[in-house]
Amino acid sequence: AGWLRERKLENEDRFEYPLEGGYSILARLLLAQDKPAEALPLLKRLAGVAQAGDRKGDLIYYLLLQALASQRLGRENPSLQTLLRALELAEPEGYCRSFIDLGPAMQALLKQLANRRITPYLTTLLEAFSGGGARASLGQPSSEAAYNSGWSEPFNERERSVLRLMAMGSSHKQIAKEIGLSPNTVRWYMKNLYSKLQVNNRTEAVNRAKDVGLL
């Protein structure tokens, strides 16, 4: 919250892509404060930017948050329609962690959808909430699952992409080019990773990530 106040980010601000990380935090903060009506338009803007940049992982994440916001507003059909769109994007690559990280609220929403229509992928996601076997089958190492579950802010798909490229020795400019972000945004992600991993530099971050199974 202090980071947001320092930068004076508000829901009505003109969207500036280099500050996407801040807007993402703001959206999650609004949801945590039970302000879904304020979070929803911001999440739609974030999803639009992610889609325009062809960043599937981020788009899925923002759609899932949209679905939760709509659910809290009592908009069942829009909520489930948004969830379906996220599932259609996620299934080909077997995304799992993006759903698991959103906890019981997402589990309940997936169950609600399963009452209307069930698919093998949806079944696997629901099973992943209760055990590590399904996570592993979708490419989620059990060590990562155990480590991620202990974080108040788990690692999202974009952060893990940046982390993998850091481990390959890519510079922040190379990372930016590889995943379609600005260098300033990559720097923001790297600082956020240092904070989450409780380290001070790139080498420590990569070593810590390897120790806990993130790499």
Give start and end residues of each alpha helix (H) in 73-182.
76-90, 97-100, 103-114, 120-128, 132-137, 142-148, 157-167, 172-179
The pTM for the full model equals: 0.58
Close Cβ partners of 100 (under 8 Å, ≥ 6 residues apart): 106, 128, 129, 135, 140, 145
Rounded to whole angstroms, the Cα distance separating 160 from 72 reads 29
Q: Identify whether residues 118 and 196 lie together within a single domain.
A: no
Find the helix or strand (DSSP H, E) in which 181 lies: none
List, for residues 107-131, the tens digit of each pLDDT value.
Answer: 999 999 998 888 888 888 888 777 6
55 lies in the same domain as 32: yes
Whether the Cβ atoms of residue 57 and residue 158 lie closer than 8 Å to each other = yes
**What is the domain count for the chain?**
2
93 and 148 assigned to the same domain: no
The reply to whether 54 and 87 lie within a common domain is yes
For residue 71, what pLDDT is reported? Answer: 94
- Shared-domain flag, residues 109 and 209: no
**Of 180 and 3, more confident:** 180
Do 42 and 75 share a domain, yes or no?
yes
Please tell me the least confidently modeled range out of 18-22, 69-73, 84-88. Answer: 18-22
Model confidence at 55: pLDDT above 60: yes
Q: What is the CATH number of the domain that holds 23?
A: 1.25.40.10
The DSSP call for residue 34 is: T
Together in a domain, 87 and 178: no
Q: What is the domain extent for residue 157?
A: 141-215
Structure tokens at 52: 């325009």
Residue ending a domain, among 123, 140, 157, is 140
State the residue for tokens 């990559």. Answer: 186
CATH number of 193's domain: 1.10.10.10
Question: Same domain, yes or no, for 2 and 57?
Answer: yes
Q: What is the residue type of 4?
A: L
Domain boundary among 97, 118, 140: 140
Question: What percent of the chain is predicted at pLDDT more than 90?
Answer: 21
pLDDT of 25 reads: 80
